[in-house]
Amino acid sequence: MSALAQSSCTPEQYLILERQANYKSEYVNGGIFAMAGASKEHNQIAFNLAGELHSQLKNRPCLAYLNDLRVKVSATGLYTYPDVAALCDEPDFEDAHMDTLLNPSVIIEILSSSTEAYDRGDKFAHYRRLPSLMEYVLIAQDKVRIEHYIRQDKQWVLTEMDHLDDTLCLVSIQCEIPLREIYAKIEY
């Protein structure tokens, strides 16, 4: 994540700028940070996930959003764009623009070498402050590896998967996605 040439600003100023921008930026602690582009593997995995989620959620009152819907962590002030945010509750948006989700139950991030440390560390620390968040998923794009964190009371329990025959079970939205489908058309 790299900072823009922007002095400290308020969340309101960020949202005005962001809604007019030609590119996406995250906001935290008064700073605006430009988001990097994604690799072809990242895009393929996101596309595969979208297809599987659409298929499993289309006849249910659940929603999944891809990387263009902003999520706000109200407790910390982070505004960010997860690769996937999903929920089966009524979506709660910050304002009438309906472009900033406040209550995802699942967040999925596809890791890259430039974001992996942040996604695992500080960003996950922010996400854990979302009362609605029940599951956090990290997907490697350079190898078959998924880390699935599930909130159980005040703890986060990790399940790791690294075989194409494994299945990612998203309990809070009742979806099961075989890793073979997540990694379809990805070559290593």
3-state helix, strand, coil in the chain (%, to 5): 25, 30, 45
Which element (helix H / strand E) includes 55?
A: helix 40-57
Residue 36: pLDDT band (50, 70, 90) is: confident
Q: Stretch 61-79: mean pLDDT, rounded?
A: 96
What is the rounded CA–CA span in Å between residue 11 and residue 91?
21
Q: Stretch 99-125: mean pLDDT, rounded?
A: 96
Q: Which two tokens stand for residue 173?
A: 């939205």
Q: Stretch 152-181: mean pLDDT, rounded?
A: 97
pTM (predicted TM-score): 0.94
Residue 1: pLDDT band (50, 70, 90) is: very low
Q: Which domains does the chain have, with CATH numbers?
A: 1-35 (no CATH), 38-182 (3.90.1570.10)
What is the rounded CA–CA span in Å between residue 42 and residue 93?
27
Rounded to 5 degrees, what angle do the CA atoms 108, 143, 112 make?
Answer: 50
Q: Stretch 73-102: mean pLDDT, rounded?
A: 97
What is the rounded CA–CA span in Å between residue 110 and residue 70?
16
